[in-house]
Structure 1
Amino acid sequence: MSDSQDSANKESPDSSGSTGHDSSDTSSVAELVNVLLEPAEELEQDEAKAKADKSSQGPRHKGIYLLPNLVTTIALFSGFYAILASMDGKFEAAAIAIFVAMVFDGLDGRVARMTNTQSDFGVEYDSLSDMVSFGVAPAVICYSWMLSDLGKLGWAAAFLYVSCAALRLARFNVQVESADSRFFEGLASPSAAALVAGMVWVGHDVEPSTSTAILAFLVTAGAGLLMVVNCRYHSMKGFNFKGHVPFVTFLAVVVGMVIVTIDPPRVLLSLALAYALSGPLFWLWIKFFRKST
């Protein structure tokens, strides 16, 4: 994953006179805002450079490695368990299992890079695991929870979500070597799954009703469509989590963790919803507001 950016051209004049890590973090934030707001054609050079950096890393290994694929298997099992739990009416446990799958899905790639065990097999296995955990499982959970009350509309929304997840993963696989790693094209399947699972987690004990079923339909279909639109989402892969950070940043992370523990389902649903809306909002900003200024 490349972090190569033309930061020297995008730093503000004020940042050149400051020193230390605070100055570095400020310039990184300013650069991120500029990149998110610039038109797509202005990013072609960055994407070409990212492609060159990826090709310089050399080919992936051909073998099968235990540790990263074991982590992927745990994520796959979590998605499988979520399906079984929803079929038994245990919607809270099913929703939690989706978030557990998200944690391990985020770990397998990092484990592979840390141990230098990246492989083509691991990439394909991870994609298939994502299809189960973040494609099929959320749709089955939401259908069992509320969409089934809508009849054909319910299973149509569930299938729309599954098919969009499959298309999203297929597009990601064919573009992974050329796309700018700092951004996702369309909402990532784990984020879409978090939106659907978060909704089920919040309303797992809600009595079935037409209004709730319609809300479930809109969220499920909307999450599916966001996976295949051309909106850009920041991937968070450009941030250097290994480097030094200001004390305020560390404090913000701690406060965020405390807030999550107060009411996990509602906080996680709010975060998933905010991230899902960020793509269309930035697209609207670029399309209308920025062009008019």
Structure 2
Amino acid sequence: MNRPIRRSPTRGLPLRAVAPNAVTALALCSGLTGIRFAISGQWETAVLMVMIASVLDGIDGRIARMVRGESRFGAELDSLSDAISFGVSPALILYLWSLKDLPRLGWLCSLIFAVFCALRLARFNAAIDVAEQPHKSAGFLTGAPSPVGAGLAMLPLYLWFWTGMDFWRSPLLVAPWVALMALLMVSSIATFSWSSLRLRTHIRFEAIAFVVLLGAALISAPWHTLTFLCVAYLATLPFSVAAYNRVKRLRGLPGATVPEQTVPAPATEPGALEP
């Protein structure tokens, strides 16, 4: 007598896996909405949508690790969201704002930015199983993360918002700047990884006070503050390169032991895949 085949009940997707992916999807929606506001000429709202996408992108990976909801699906979704929110969306916003007045070269620079952002994400997805990653093992990133690259590319917009000078809207200025930021994203320059920074106990209060002041500045004078943050980040590049070269020299010395850091992958680039 044939026994009936018992089928195990289908298990649903646990909530802890849904939550971080939902945040990533919201980041994607925010980035795409920025394009919609750019089409209607609402430039400040368009930039704000990209900024919201960067905040959401910064917390989705942390939420996934907190609730133990990491998955390969989430990492791939995060990469696609980053390519659109921080590659396609800023490129189109800048093109509609300024680069359309220089049709061929302006569109070329917009294409370069969007494509280079996608190439950066693809490069790090492909390197997920590579054992030897010198920058990551030393606690550094390679090039500017895609949310940072998007923020830097829109620096002329911030300056235009709070100065009102049409000089910052000139495509002859914006086009080379966008291309330069695209190159920074795919470059091999060692940049600081915030996830590897460790604060000393006696300066934690000062760090909290600085974060509070930064938040207040972003609320009261957002474009001035974003301009300051962009300039400050660019100013750290020579120091990050020098710090990485120093670590590399120490590791090359006979008898020198520099412990490798296990740096948790930042949620911004791309999810759990960024070295």
* TM superposition score normalised by structure 2: 0.73
- C-alpha separation in 2, matches of 1:244 and 1:137: 41
- C-alpha separation in 2, matches of 1:76 and 1:116: 22
1:253 to 211, 226, 230: 211
1:192 to 139, 145, 149: 149
**Residue 76 of structure 2 is aligned to residue 119 of structure 1:** no
- C-alpha separation in 1, matches of 2:93 and 2:179: 14
The equivalent of 1:138 in structure 2 is 90
- C-alpha separation in 1, matches of 2:242 and 2:99: 31
CA apart distance, 1:207: 6.9
The equivalent of 1:216 in structure 2 is 174
The equivalent of 2:140 in structure 1 is 183
Change (3 A) 1:141 1:77: same
- C-alpha separation in 1, matches of 2:61 and 2:108: 33
Do the aligned residues in 1 keep the contact of 2:160 with 2:166 (CA within 8 Å)? no
What SS class does the counterpart of residue 184 from structure 1 fall into?
strand
Do the aligned residues in 2 keep the contact of 1:72 with 1:105 (CA within 8 Å)? yes
CA apart distance, 1:216: 1.0
In the alignment, structure 1 segments of 5+ residues that lack a partner are 1-62
My pick for the range that moved more, 163-172 or 138-147, is 163-172
Do the aligned residues in 2 keep the contact of 1:140 with 1:158 (CA within 8 Å)? yes
What SS class does the counterpart of residue 141 from structure 2 fall into?
strand
Quote the sequence identity (%).
35
Change (3 A) 1:176 1:204: farther
The one-character-per-residue Cα deviations of 1:238-287 (angstroms, maximum 9, x if unpaired) are 2358x895322222222333333332112112212332453356437877
The equivalent of 1:165 in structure 2 is 117
The equivalent of 1:275 in structure 2 is 233
Structure 1 counterpart of 2:111, which letter?
Answer: F
* TM superposition score normalised by structure 1: 0.69
Change (3 A) 1:209 1:244: closer
1:102 to 33, 54, 69: 54
Structure 1 counterpart of 2:176, which letter?
Answer: L
What SS class does the counterpart of residue 258 from structure 1 fall into?
helix
Structure 1 counterpart of 2:50, which letter?
Answer: I
Point out 4+ residue stretches in structure 1 off by more than 4 angstroms.
204-211, 284-287
My pick for the range that moved more, 96-105 or 81-90, is 81-90
Change (3 A) 1:286 1:106: closer
My pick for the range that moved more, 220-229 or 267-276, is 267-276
The equivalent of 1:37 in structure 2 is none
What SS class does the counterpart of residue 188 from structure 2 fall into?
coil
Structure 1 counterpart of 2:64, which letter?
Answer: A
- C-alpha separation in 2, matches of 1:88 and 1:151: 19
Do the aligned residues in 2 keep the contact of 1:194 with 1:269 (CA within 8 Å)? no
What SS class does the counterpart of residue 144 from structure 2 fall into?
coil
What SS class does the counterpart of residue 44 from structure 2 fall into?
helix
The one-character-per-residue Cα deviations of 1:202-257 (angstroms, maximum 9, x if unpaired) are 4258575697222211221111010111101112012358x895322222222333
The equivalent of 2:6 in structure 1 is none
Number of residues of Structure 1 aligned to a counterpart in Structure 2: 227
2:195 to 237, 240, 243: 237
My pick for the range that moved more, 96-105 or 211-220, is 211-220
Greater RCO, 1 or 2 (C-alpha within 8 Å, sep 6+):
2
Do the aligned residues in 1 keep the contact of 2:149 with 2:182 (CA within 8 Å)? yes
Do the aligned residues in 1 keep the contact of 2:24 with 2:78 (CA within 8 Å)? yes
My pick for the range that moved more, 104-113 or 182-191, is 182-191
**Residue 105 of structure 2 is aligned to residue 128 of structure 1:** no
CA apart distance, 1:121: 0.1
CA apart distance, 1:140: 0.1
Structure 2 counterpart of 1:186, which letter?
Answer: G
